[in-house]
Amino acid sequence: MEFEYWWLLVFPLFFALGWLAARVDIRQVVTESRALPNSYFRGLNFLLNEQPDKAIEAFLEVVKLEPETIDLHFALGGLFRRRGELDRAIRMHENLLEREGLAEEQRLRAMAELGQDYLKAGLLDRAEQVFGKLLETSRHGLARTYLLEIYVQEKDWQKAIDAARVLEKDTSKPLNADIAHFHCELALLEAARGNADAAADHLKQSLAANRQSVRANMMAGDLDAAAGRHEAAIADWRLVETQSAVHMALVVDRVLASYRQLGRLAEGVQWLRALYGRQPSPDLFNALYLAVSETEGAAAASQLAREELRRNPSLRTLDRLLEAELVNAPPEARELLQVEKNLVASHSQRMMRYQCGSCGFKAAQFFWRCPACGRWDSFDPERREGEG
């Protein structure tokens, strides 16, 4: 295709239009920036320098001078909530809602912010009321997300199940793992009331929602064991390995207890040795050590501890070795060994903790839902040695 020389006349026109558009934009920005008080820019500077206290003071000064700055009201309300000054955040967002002539989108935004203020303040009934009103608006997805959080905090598990199912359809986000936990919580309540059949039904629904629900199989084993069905309980618990091998650390003691009830502890120890070979962990070793000590004696337990200490040195393994050595120690050495064992055991117990993989929260007991960040299935099922 031949070059058309008349295009040379068009290029200067394009450059001129671009220059004119840039000049208009710059003039607009300069005009708008001159209209804002200096306090606004001081506030931004404080925010950039991570000085929220001074930023709030500066922005409050702007609000006094320019009361119509709605976006700044939202920014202040958010800052107050993040800092934990919930009374001020609530007042800020309530004042916005009381304004006449507020645009519909701004009104919905103010309602959503107010609901979050109430939720963080623990005023769950007020938060539920606000988010309930937002269900029929464009903010329905956000409202359902926070309503689900409210039902979980209130431990209203049936409402949580219903809300999660609607939210799944609304957002296409899978919540089957959470729904399985909600059914497990209902199963716990029914079991506490003595309604074993109702509890078992909820566990079936839990597994229907999430076939990989470790918790449901663990609880099914607990129900069977409580009813004296130890063969069934062992089968339930051993299914956990097919779902999540690391969670066997939570059920190994229960499996051995049922083998003991059946008078087949030696068979249980044989099973545990094989499991430990596939999934070595400190908790599984501890269970194996105690079982070997019970069935085979202190010498076998001592040998097991020595081998483990060479492979995976830890204070807990050293504690078990000292425990085994104490059994056959001569009287003159026993007192010193006991002192050493007590020191190691005390320090080891302080250090062994479960930890949330989401927020880092540590605890002496295992939680399905982290008490600190509220995440489900975030706790490592194996305890680790670390600073308490």
Name the binding residues for Fe cation. 356, 359, 370, 373
| Residue 278: count of CB within 10 angstroms of its CB | 10
Going 47 to 48 to 51 to 54, the CA torsion angle's sign is: negative
Instruction: State the greatest distance between any 2 C-alpha atoms of the chain, in Å, as a whole number.
Output: 110
The amino acid present at 368, given as its one-letter code, is W
Contacts of 167 (CB under 8 A, 6+ apart): 141, 144, 145, 148, 173, 175
CB atoms within 10 A of CB 226: 11
Q: Which residues contact 92 (CB under 8 A, 6 or more apart)?
A: 73, 76, 77, 80
Locus of tokens 């820019």: 41
The span from the CA of 251 to the CA of 287, in Å, is 10
Q: How many helices (H) and strands (E) does the chain have?
A: 20, 3
Q: Please classify residue 304 by burial: count the beta carbons closer than 10 Å to its beta carbon, then call 0-12 exposed, 13-18 middle and 19+ buried.
A: buried
Task: Give binding residues as ranges.
Answer: 356, 359, 370, 373
**DSSP assignment of 163-225, as one string?**
HHHHHHHHH----HHHHHHHHHHHHHHHHHTT-HHHHHHHHHHHHHH-TT-HHHHHHHHHHHH
